[in-house]
Amino acid sequence: MRLLCSHAEKKTSHLSLFFKVASVRCFVTTCRAVLLPRFGGPDLLDLRPDVSVPVLNPNEVLVRARAVSINPLDTRMRSGYGRSIFEPLLPLILGRDISGEVAAIGTSVRSLTVGQEVFGALHPTAVRGTYTDYAILSEDELSPKPASITHVEASAIPFAALTAWRALKSTARITEGQRLLVVGGGGAVGFAAIQLAVAAGCHVTTTCGSRSIERILAAGAEQAIDYTAEDVELAIKGKFDAVLDTIGVQETERIGINFLKQGGHYMTLQGETASYSDRYGMAIGLPAATAVLLKKQIQYRSSHGIEYSWTYMRADSEGLEEIRRLSEAGKLKIPVEKTFPITQVREAHDAKDKKKILGKVVLELD
Ligand SMILES: NC(=O)c1ccc[n+]([C@@H]2O[C@H](COP(=O)([O-])OP(=O)(O)OC[C@H]3O[C@@H](n4cnc5c(N)ncnc54)[C@H](OP(=O)(O)O)[C@@H]3O)[C@@H](O)[C@H]2O)c1
C-alpha cells in the first residue's frame, strides 16, 4: 500500500495525500471531480481540480477511477430528473459505473485489497458519483475487475447488468427453459438481459433497431425483431414467462402484457416514482406513485393474470459476482461506441443528448 501511495503521489502531484498510519490506510484529501452545481445542459458540468474527498466509512472503498461509463440516468439527472431528492444536495457528482484500482479501504473491508483492479456501480440515489479521480463505493458495490477486459470495457457493464439482474433474477426469478421477451434489446440494459438470460438457459426474443440485430443473434437470442421495419405484434411468436420492457411507453407495455403467459412477469424500467415526486414533491408524489403502481398491479392481475412491476437497479454483490464471472468468460459484454477523456465530459454529454452517439460512451481518467 505504501508503494501504491508513493506511486500515486508521483503520478498525481496535483493531489494532496495523507497517511493514516495507525489503521494502515492512505487517503486522498482532494482530487479532480466533475461537479454539477445546478440542473440543466452539458455546459454546467464543471471539472474542478480540488474537490474534497470524504473520509471512508468502515465498509467503504476508495477507488482510483480509470474509466466511468455514461448511463441515461446521468444525463437525465443532469437535466433535473430526481430533483425532489437531489436538489437539496447540490452540487452533485454524476456517474454510477466505474472501473479502476483500490486506493484505500475502510477498516471493515475484507474482500478487497489496496492495488487490486475492481469494477462496480453505485446505487441510483448516490450523491457523490464516479465522475472523479477518486470515487467511494461500498464493498458490496465492487468486485474484482475481469482480467480479460480493459477498464473501458469493464466500466460499461455493472449498472446496466445489475439492472437486468435485478429484474430477471430477483423479480421474475427466471429459470432454465423459460421464454423471455426483451423490449429494446439493443440498449445496454436490454443487451445485458439477453446475455444473462441466455447464460441461464432461457429462450430469448427481442425487439431492437436494425443495427443491433446481428450482435443480438450472435449473443444467443433466438429472434430479433426490427421495430423500425416490422410489425412487432405479427412477428412475435408464442407467449412468454417474463417481459423486460426497457422502453416502457404505452405501446410497448400493451404488447408486453398481451404476450405474457398466465402468471408471467411484466417489468418496466420506466417506473414513475421519481417523476411523480419531482412533479408533486416527495410527500404527495411518493404515495401517488405507489397508488398508481398498485392500481396497475391489481388491474393486470385481474384482466390478464400477470404480475406487473416497476424495476430499479440495486447493488447486489451476488449478482455482481455472477456478472464478473460471465464477463471474464466473454459471455457478457456491453459494446463501447466511443470514449472521451474526462476533460471532455461536456462534449460527451452533449453527444448523448443530441443522439449523435447511440451506443455506450465511456469517460477515461488518466
Ligand atoms: N429503472 C432503473 O433502475 C433503470 C436502470 C437503467 C436504465 N434505466 C432506463 O432504461 C432505459 C434503457 O437504458 P440503457 O442504459 O439500456 O439505455 P441505452 O443503452 O441508451 O439504450 C437505448 C436503446 O433503446 C433502443 N430503443 C429505442 N426505442 C426502441 C423501441 N421502440 N423498441 C425497441 N428498442 C428501442 C435503441 O436500440 P437500437 O439501437 O437497437 O435501436 C437504443 O439504443 C433508459 O430509459 C434508462 O433511463 C432504468
pTM of the model: 0.93
Distance 340 CA to ligand 1 centre (A): 21
pLDDT at 26: 52
Residue 28 pLDDT level (bands cut at 50, 70, 90) = confident
Q: Does the pLDDT at position 139 exceed 70? A: yes
- Residue written as cell 474527498? 53
Angle (nearest 5°) at CA 159 between 292 and 155: 160
Burial pattern 142-166, b for ≥16 Cβ within 10 A else e, equals: bbbbbeebebbbbbbbbbbbbbbbb
CATH 2.60.120.10 fits domain 159-271: no
Least confident residue range of 3-7, 102-106, 323-327, 359-363: 3-7
Q: Does residue 160 line the site of ligand 1, with CB under 6 A?
A: yes
What grid cell was written down for 7?
506511486
Please determine, for residue 150, whether its predicted confidence score (pLDDT) is greater than 70.
yes
Q: Considering only CA atoms, which residue is closest to atom 32 of ligand 1?
A: 184
Report domain extents, the chain.
Answer: 2-156+335-364, 159-271
Residue 27 pLDDT: 65
What's the one-letter identity of residue 309? S
Homologous superfamily, domain 2-156+335-364? Medium-chain alcohol dehydrogenases, catalytic domain (3.90.180.10)
Q: Closest Cα partner for 48 from 339, 340, 343? A: 343
Residue 106 CB–ligand 1 contact under 6 Å: no
Measured in Å, residue 24 CA sits from the centre of ligand 1 at 44
CA of 249 to the centre of ligand 1 (A): 11
Q: What is the mean pLDDT of residues 167-190?
A: 98
The verdict on the CB of residue 188 being under 6 Å from ligand 1 is: yes
pLDDT tens-digit readout, 280-331: 999 999 999 999 999 999 999 999 999 999 999 999 999 999 999 999 999 9
Report the range of poorest mean pLDDT among 14-28, 127-141, 207-221, 329-343: 14-28
Q: At what angle do helices 345-353 and 72-79 cross, to 10 degrees?
A: 90
pLDDT digits over 265-274, tens only? 999 999 999 9
Ligand 1 atom closest to Cα of 187?
Answer: 21
Q: Report the nearest atom of ligand 1 relative to the CA of 76.
A: 47
Q: Which amino acid is at 157?
A: I
CA of 12 to the centre of ligand 1 (A): 37
Q: Cα(96)–Cα(124) distance, rounded to whole angstroms?
A: 7
Q: How many other β-carbons are positioned within 10 Å of the β-carbon of residue 104?
A: 27
Q: Is residue 156 within 8 Å of 362, Cβ to Cβ?
A: yes
